[in-house]
Structure 1
Amino acid sequence: MLSTAEDLGRLVKKERKALGLTQAELALTSGTGLRFISDLENGKPTCQIGKTLTVLKTLGIRLMTSSPDSPGVG
């Protein structure tokens, strides 16, 4: 379960490395910048959500959500 920006950053870094990608390669394939990838992997809490979702999709990471009133939506 992810509960912090740092948790998400660690996940992104782990998946990027598992795919054998450099930060620069991930930035290029996701249409973001190298600085953004670095900030995201380092858990910067103010990273833009739209770009973050794009990076997750590029890495094949599915984001699942849930609320107290309903089962997981994804």
Structure 2
Amino acid sequence: MSPVYTSKDLGAAIRAERKRQKLTQTEVANLCAVSLSFISNLENGKETAELEKALKVLSTLGLDITITKRGE
């Protein structure tokens, strides 16, 4: 996966993994107990997405976030 620098990058990574797992947005929303509109907004890179919910979606899809200093 590519580095994530923006909300659009994060959304693209989430969308790619969801599609790789052959899940619909509705299925992911149900698994995470969030609304379909939240998943849609998150995948479209809406900057005001709630962080805790976004982390839950990442976890549900088996994705982790690692923070590293650039250049290391």
Please give the TM-score of this superposition, normalised by the length of structure 1.
0.88
Cross-structure match for 1:48? 50
1:30 pairs with one of 29, 32, 36: 32
Cross-structure match for 2:60? 58
Residue type matched to 1:3 in 2?
Y
Q: 5+ unaligned residues in a row in structure 2: which ranges?
A: none
Report 1 or 2 for greater relative contact order, CA contacts < 8 Å, sequence distance ≥ 6.
2
Q: 5+ unaligned residues in a row in structure 1: which ranges?
A: none
Give me the identity figure in percent. Answer: 42
Greater Rg by CA:
1
Instruction: Give a deviation string over 1:25-70, Cα, whole Å, max 9, x none.
Output: 00000111100000000000100000000000000001101357xx
Q: Which runs of 4+ in 1 moved over 3 A?
A: none
Give the alignment's Cα RMSD to 1 decimal: 1.3
Please give the TM-score of this superposition, normalised by the length of structure 2.
0.90
Alignment length (residue pairs): 69
Residue type matched to 1:6 in 2?
K
